[in-house]
Amino acid sequence: MRATLMYEAGDVRVEDVPDSVIKEPTDALVRITASCICGSDLWPYGSMPAADDPVRMGHEFIGIVEDTGSEVSTVKRGDLVVAPFAISDNTCVFCREGLHTSCGNPHAGFWDGMPEEGGQAEATRVPLADGTLVKLPVAADSALMPSLLTLSDVFGTGHHAAVAGGVNQRTSVTVIGDGAVGLLGVLSARLLGAEQIILMGRHQARTDLGRDFGATDVVSARGAEGIEAVRDLTGGHGTHVVLECVGAMPAYEQAVGIVRPGGVISRVGVPQYEQAPVGFDSLFGRNIRLAGGPAPTRAYIEKLMPAILEGTIDPGRVFDATTDLGGVPAGYQDMADRKTLKVLVKS
Amino acid sequence: MRATLMYEAGDVRVEDVPDSVIKEPTDALVRITASCICGSDLWPYGSMPAADDPVRMGHEFIGIVEDTGSEVSTVKRGDLVVAPFAISDNTCVFCREGLHTSCGNPHAGFWDGMPEEGGQAEATRVPLADGTLVKLPVAADSALMPSLLTLSDVFGTGHHAAVAGGVNQRTSVTVIGDGAVGLLGVLSARLLGAEQIILMGRHQARTDLGRDFGATDVVSARGAEGIEAVRDLTGGHGTHVVLECVGAMPAYEQAVGIVRPGGVISRVGVPQYEQAPVGFDSLFGRNIRLAGGPAPTRAYIEKLMPAILEGTIDPGRVFDATTDLGGVPAGYQDMADRKTLKVLVKS
């Protein structure tokens, strides 16, 4: 079968690999029908050292169950399923609290880092299939496929940012980043009732989509100028919640500058730093809270799916390009060049 | 009048200074009857450069109103009052949200840093008296004075740690630090219903008081060994909430090690660092939240006072020494040497 491998920064190839097979009684084998390239895939695409072994790519996919291990009971051959970007048993103490990314099962973990499986491929083995996979009540050729695919990561991640930030009808919100997660952070903040949603981004096609999703204001300036612009829009105070959907240090610093005293910076962009300012002058003095982390998207799939099925929201609009598996390497480059926002891969 | 001045690290003097007087129509002049030395006073006592000008000390006090400006209406001459460690108008948008430490009034701020006023003195001018001062329904010689004095800072600060950490009946709690704030963090966690409260400290007289206040376990080990001990007490997971009541980097690192995935580190110890680890390996990967800041103790005085007046709690037990104004310099040294937990100053 064919699958996507990253060899080093800038070098992504689709190659023949050994067929995925069932290994554990809790596994399912899934023939992938739709996957995509993630903004977080661009971090190693920009920095992976050549010395490392190639890694399998892809952690967002929909597919058809082809086979199941003896202990799998919630999905069966022929089911159309969506997989979140973290593998979990959905039964441990952390999963029951909705924190599937901290699942305590020894087979749990992230697709990224699994040695021989991944979503940008023809098929994959899915560990802990009962906990991980969620059945979709549509056909594989449904027009809703792009929106349903966002449940695996970007919609759930934007939603997690808003939930972890405590967004509600009484909070003003700034979203830093006009990538797919940022835009779906806007949509999530609107669904949670926020009235003022300021989107910080400088790519007009994206910020226009952000306005469609519910942004009330767009700030294209960055740094000190961007902070000033947000303060001007909020009576000088900043917003109650800042959704930091980038992960770079300048975005963090921007968040510190625009969050209101007593407010929350909710991070879902994977931090490209370990140390950051959190002392008296940045967070402590103003009682700013820091929240967020890898989104337990599994916890949100059943909650977010009905509005997609009803057609009242269309998060799949973040996909502005579609390719097949052979087009994945070019898809990476287009996303890195910001020619495309997010690439859907039809297998 | 006499007042306490710090000249440099290790050099605290009680000297004659110009009498405090009313300057603004919103001021009150308060004759101080009881004040105290704070754990946070020990940071400059350990590090203040000799090159700086001497500073007035003291931000926790009870006293009798001696005079009021023309606009003061909630307190009058002869009232016994307690002052929180932050000056606020109690009416601005942040005060109404309970965040008095971010009061937007131009006269608001912390006692620490005010050039000519302070609590370790015979008297002080109190800006924004209507907002800052709270009348006490007892006489100045009441036996409740030590407990009522804790409302100005240490009790409200311990309470803020627990509130900002989201402590309730379903959360397990670790308190790092056996100083007065840590011990009152224990008491606050118990009042909020926490069933498991682990106190980390190595000074037995203090941890014994912590047990009286509600600690269910005491861990005297620090660092990796202390983290291991807390994990052993919590099924390997750590506690839902960690109250970090010290402010030093080793305490922060300890908090990161013992907080449960999805949990909260709530800081009220003034951070002696600006940068700290917050990336994937410390906070982000496990969805750990960081909360806390300078406690808006003004917001908590009316809430915490009734149990003191009823005698059901006795937070004043954190005072294990009493002196007069002349004994303040020795009080600093005794607290720095950890001979005393907290010194009450009778003026």
d(CA A283, CA A169): 24
Cβ-defined contact of A279 to B283 (cutoff 8 Å)? no
d(CA A216, CA A159): 18
Which residues is A197 bridged to in the sheet? A173
B231 touches chain A (CB under 8 A): no
Mean pLDDT of B234-249: 97
Based on the fold, state whether residues A71 and A149 are members of the same structural domain. Answer: yes
Cβ-defined contact of A275 to B273 (cutoff 8 Å)? no
d(CA A301, CA A60): 13
Cβ-defined contact of B293 to A285 (cutoff 8 Å)? yes
Cβ-defined contact of B94 to A164 (cutoff 8 Å)? no
| Angle at B276 (CA atoms; ends A248, A179), nearest 5 degrees | 15
Based on the fold, state whether residues B111 and B191 are members of the same structural domain. Answer: no
Rounded to two decimals, the ipTM of the complex is: 0.96
What is the pLDDT at residue A347?
83
Cβ-defined contact of B271 to A278 (cutoff 8 Å)? yes
Q: Which residues of chain A have pLDDT under 50?
A: none
List the single residue in A93, A267, A289 with the smallest CB-CB distance to B284: A267
Based on the fold, state whether residues B56 and B138 are members of the same structural domain. Answer: yes
- The whole-angstrom distance between B275's CA and the closest CA on chain A is 4
Residues of B in contact with A290 (CB under 8 A): 278, 283, 289-291
Burial-class residue B98 by CB neighbours within 10 Å (0-12, 13-18, 19+).
middle
Residues of A in contact with B288 (CB under 8 A): 293
What b-and-e string marks burial along A2-21, b requiring 16 or more CB atoms within 10 Å of the CB? ebbbbeeeeebebeebeebe
Based on the fold, state whether residues B270 and B197 are members of the same structural domain. Answer: yes
pLDDT digits (tens, 9 = 90+) for B251-284: 999 999 999 999 999 999 999 999 999 999 999 9
B281 touches chain A (CB under 8 A): yes
What is the pLDDT at residue A51?
79
Residues of B in contact with A262 (CB under 8 A): 94, 97, 99, 102
Pick from A270, A274, A281 the residue to mutate for testing the B interface (most B CBs within 10 Å).
A274
Cβ-defined contact of B276 to A279 (cutoff 8 Å)? yes
List the single residue in B93, B267, B278 with the smallest CB-CB distance to A284: B267
CATH number, domain containing residue B53:
3.90.180.10
Cβ-defined contact of B261 to A287 (cutoff 8 Å)? no
Structure tokens at A185: 């952070």
- The whole-angstrom distance between B111's CA and the closest CA on chain A is 14
Other CB atoms within a 10 A radius of the CB of residue A141 amount to 7
What is the pLDDT at residue B115?
87
List the single residue in A275, A279, A294 with the smallest CB-CB distance to B271: A279
Based on the fold, state whether residues A195 and A181 are members of the same structural domain. Answer: yes
Based on the fold, state whether residues B32 and B129 are members of the same structural domain. Answer: yes
A-chain residue closest to B287, CA distance: A293
Pick from B281, B283, B288 the residue to mutate for testing the A interface (most A CBs within 10 Å).
B283
B94 touches chain A (CB under 8 A): yes
Average predicted confidence (pLDDT) for chain B: 97
Judge contact between A298 and B133, C-beta under 8 A: no
Cβ-defined contact of A261 to B294 (cutoff 8 Å)? no
Based on the fold, state whether residues B114 and B12 are members of the same structural domain. Answer: yes
Cβ-defined contact of A289 to B291 (cutoff 8 Å)? yes
* Plot region of B235 (φ>0 → left; ψ -120 to 50 → alpha; else → beta): left
| Contacting B residues, span 298-337, partner chain A, CB-CB under 8 Å | none
Residues of A in contact with B273 (CB under 8 A): 279
pLDDT at B113 over 90: no
List the single residue in B278, B288, B291 with the smallest CB-CB distance to A276: B278
- The CA–CA distances, whole Å, from B258 to B168, B234, B252, B283 equal 18, 9, 10, 11
- The whole-angstrom distance between B179's CA and the closest CA on chain A is 20
Mean pLDDT of B38-43: 93
User: Of A216, A213, A232, whose CA–CA distance to A224 is shortest?
Assistant: A232
Based on the fold, state whether residues A101 and A180 are members of the same structural domain. Answer: no
Give residue B245's domain range.
Answer: 160-292
Cβ-defined contact of B284 to A277 (cutoff 8 Å)? no
A292 touches chain B (CB under 8 A): yes
| Contacting B residues, span 22-61, partner chain A, CB-CB under 8 Å | none
A-B CB pairs within 8 A amount to 109
Based on the fold, state whether residues A6 and A131 are members of the same structural domain. Answer: yes
List the single residue in A93, A102, A270 with the smallest CB-CB distance to B286: A102
Residues of A in contact with B292 (CB under 8 A): 284, 287
A265 touches chain B (CB under 8 A): no
d(CA A136, CA A75): 10
pLDDT at B52 over 90: no
Cβ-defined contact of A287 to B285 (cutoff 8 Å)? no
Based on the fold, state whether residues A206 and A334 are members of the same structural domain. Answer: no
* Plot region of A151 (φ>0 → left; ψ -120 to 50 → alpha; else → beta): alpha
Cβ-defined contact of B284 to A262 (cutoff 8 Å)? no
A286 touches chain B (CB under 8 A): yes
A285 touches chain B (CB under 8 A): yes
Judge contact between A261 and A268, C-beta under 8 A: no
Cβ-defined contact of B282 to A271 (cutoff 8 Å)? no
d(CA A199, CA A209): 11
Which residues is A312 bridged to in the sheet? none
Based on the fold, state whether residues B114 and B220 are members of the same structural domain. Answer: no
In percent, how much of chain B has pLDDT > 70? 100
Count of domains forming chain A: 2
- The whole-angstrom distance between A95's CA and the closest CA on chain B is 11
CATH number, domain containing residue B217:
3.40.50.720
Residue B256, φ and ψ in degrees, nearest 5: -60, -35
| Angle at A139 (CA atoms; ends A133, A144), nearest 5 degrees | 85
- The CA–CA distances, whole Å, from B325 to A52, A144, B3, B61, B346 equal 67, 75, 8, 13, 7
Residue A69, φ and ψ in degrees, nearest 5: -70, 170
- The CA–CA distances, whole Å, from A99 to B69, B288, B314 equal 55, 11, 39
Structure tokens at A62: 């929909």
Give all strands (DSSP E) within B115-253, no chain letters: 123-126, 134-135, 173-176, 197-200, 217-219, 239-244
Asked which of B277, B292, B307 is the last residue of a domain, the reply is B292
Cβ-defined contact of B284 to A291 (cutoff 8 Å)? no
Based on the fold, state whether residues B280 and B305 are members of the same structural domain. Answer: no
What is the pLDDT at residue B175?
98
Residue with tokens 């390719």: A323
Cβ-defined contact of B287 to A293 (cutoff 8 Å)? yes
